[in-house]
Amino acid sequence: MVNRSAAQPDPPYLRIVTELRRRIVASELRTGDRVPSTRQIAREWGVAIATATKALATLGQEGLVQAVPRVGTVVAGPPPRPAPSARTPRRRPTPAAEQELTPERIIHAAIAIADTEGLTALSMRRVAAELGVGAMSLYRHVPGKDRLVLLMADAVFGEAQLPEPPPPGWRAQLELIARAQWAVSCRHPWIARVVSLTRPTPAPNGMAYTERALRAVDGLGLDPSTMLYVAITIAGYVQATAVNLESEVEAEQDTGVTRDEWMHAQVDAVTPILASGRFPMLAGVAMRPDFHLDLDTLFEFGLKLLLDGLAVRIQHPTP
């Protein structure tokens, strides 16, 4: 009689774990090498992002890989003992590990995952694996992923402490606020996807930026609605520019090619197009040696335009 359960193939995530473990043990992937990202795994094996995430989490539990901020998931080192079978039962979390669990530890681990692997890789199960505890134990501290993301946003917004008293002048104050928000976005590219202009996030540390922006333009002759529009417009400008940060991080993780390397690789393809004469204005600017196309430069340029326009509005208020 055939044992049907024995004939069933391993789940997709375990097949991925087995193959990546083999590559690490065989030194095809060496210590410090980046392992395929969740997106690459999804494409290579034809699985969902959640399945790819589970595979990497399993390798992390085995100590074979680790997440490195702004780099991705890399090989942590060779296994200290022979690789376990794909069907080896997982060690149950120790009671001590769960007793040490706090909301702060959960939030910190979740931020680290989002920073290195993107928000799509974040799940309660993934955070639990990172902390070495059972997934259900997280729910005693955080009711679910939506609440966790909100707490993460509030935590990262609280990283920057705006000075008191603020610098003199409305423009200097708004510049300070916008650059603080931009710095948060650069450290945590996923935050641009969390913030909504029309459905504001109830995060006190984020609301503090709005409060400071309102204080900056108070007393300039603007009506209350316009004052709030100013604060929201600045936050929206930062967010819109910051959306490109996450896509850039994802592209580098997926391809292993930095932005500068990618731009250099496009020279041979772009130069003939610009030299064709079809786009004389674009060619005249793009070919200049002093032209730089990076997000920091674009952010500063756009912020100046935005505040220049606000200065005109303050000097000549609309009736």
The residue-averaged pLDDT of 151-180 equals 93
The residue-averaged pLDDT of 228-239 equals 95
- 161 in any annotated domain: no
Same domain, 184 and 146: no
Higher pLDDT, 100 or 180: 180
Same domain, 227 and 103: no
- The answer to whether residue 2 scores a pLDDT higher than 70 is no
- The answer to whether residue 126 scores a pLDDT higher than 70 is yes
- 32 in any annotated domain: yes
Same domain, 121 and 216: no
Same domain, 151 and 184: no
Burial (Cβ within 10 Å: 0-12, 13-18, ≥19) of residue 312: exposed
- 43 in any annotated domain: yes
pLDDT in the model for residue 171: 97
Domain count, the chain: 2
- The answer to whether residue 98 scores a pLDDT higher than 70 is no
Same domain, 59 and 193: no
Cis upstream peptide for 272 (omega within 30°):
no
- 48 in any annotated domain: yes
- The answer to whether residue 93 scores a pLDDT higher than 70 is no
- The answer to whether residue 214 scores a pLDDT higher than 70 is yes
The residue-averaged pLDDT of 222-240 equals 94
pLDDT grade for 84, boundaries at 50, 70 and 90: very low
Same domain, 119 and 228: no
State how far the Cα of 155 lies from the Cα of 208, in Å rounded to an integer: 12
**What CATH number does residue 223 fall under?**
1.10.357.10
Same domain, 194 and 249: yes
- 277 in any annotated domain: no
- 216 in any annotated domain: yes
The residue-averaged pLDDT of 293-301 equals 88
Secondary structure of residue 214 in the 3-state scheme: helix
pLDDT in the model for residue 88: 40
pTM of the model: 0.68
Residue with tokens 């009671």: 95
Higher pLDDT, 171 or 295: 171
Same domain, 16 and 144: yes
Residue 88 DSSP one-character state: P
The residue-averaged pLDDT of 305-313 equals 95
Task: Name the nearest CA neighbour of 41 among 76, 8, 12, 65.
Answer: 12
- The answer to whether residue 252 scores a pLDDT higher than 80 is no
Max mean pLDDT range (50-59, 256-265, 276-285): 276-285
- The answer to whether residue 70 scores a pLDDT higher than 60 is no
The residue-averaged pLDDT of 76-88 equals 48
Same domain, 243 and 184: yes
**What CATH number does residue 63 fall under?**
1.10.10.10
Same domain, 136 and 179: no
Same domain, 43 and 106: yes
Same domain, 70 and 178: no
Final residue of a structural domain among 103, 123, 155: 155
pLDDT grade for 8, boundaries at 50, 70 and 90: low
Task: Supply the mean pLDDT for the chain.
Answer: 82
- 262 in any annotated domain: no
- C-beta neighbour count of 182 within 10 angstroms: 21
The residue-averaged pLDDT of 186-205 equals 87
- Domain span at residue 194 reads 170-256+289-315
- 68 in any annotated domain: yes
